[in-house]
């Protein structure tokens, strides 16, 4: 599989809205595989297609439990509140304190085109919200109450 270069600010594609996937074909499956490999190569826990320059509504997430591959994900329910630190492969060296929902319910398609629904809380909820924000051109720094540079 291929490892993509992760797009970083100030690249404008990070501010563009991604287009829904209409057909899950070999190109989309290859994109999922390459996104997974890229995420692991960069030691990330999530990656959205715009972060590799592809304006499609596709994300991969792995917080250490299992790989999630989500096509056209949508948050349909948010509950509670959590405030925590976030970073992003597209903003290297920056972390910020971001308020997110403690629990979310997401619907999406899997790689087989089957509709799935999943609930996430804690870190998974944070990762889902962070990656889905990328699909709408929103970065964590837009929601951060404070940011700082780290090495």
Catalytic residues, which ones? 131
> In the beta sheet, which residues pair with residue 39?
none
Q: Is-contact 76 128, C-beta < 8 A? A: no
């Amino acid at each position: 599989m291929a490892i993509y270069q992760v797009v970083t600010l100030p690249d404008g594609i990070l501010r563009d809205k991604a287009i829904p996937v209409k057909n899950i074909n070999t190109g989309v499956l290859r994109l999922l595989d390459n996104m997974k490999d890229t995420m692991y190569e960069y030691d990330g826990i999530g990656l959205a297609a715009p972060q590799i320059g592809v304006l499609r509504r596709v994300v991969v997430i792995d917080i250490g439990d299992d790989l999630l591959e989500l096509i056209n994900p949508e948050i349909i329910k948010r509950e509670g509140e959590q405030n925590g630190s976030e970073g992003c492969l597209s903003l290297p060296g920056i972390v910020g304190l971001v308020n997110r929902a403690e629990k979310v319910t997401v619907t999406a398609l899997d790689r087989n085109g089957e509709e799935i629904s999943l609930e996430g809380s804690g870190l998974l909820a944070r990762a889902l919200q962070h990656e889905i924000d990328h699909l709408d051109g929103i970065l964590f720094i837009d929601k951060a109450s404070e940011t700082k540079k780290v090495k």
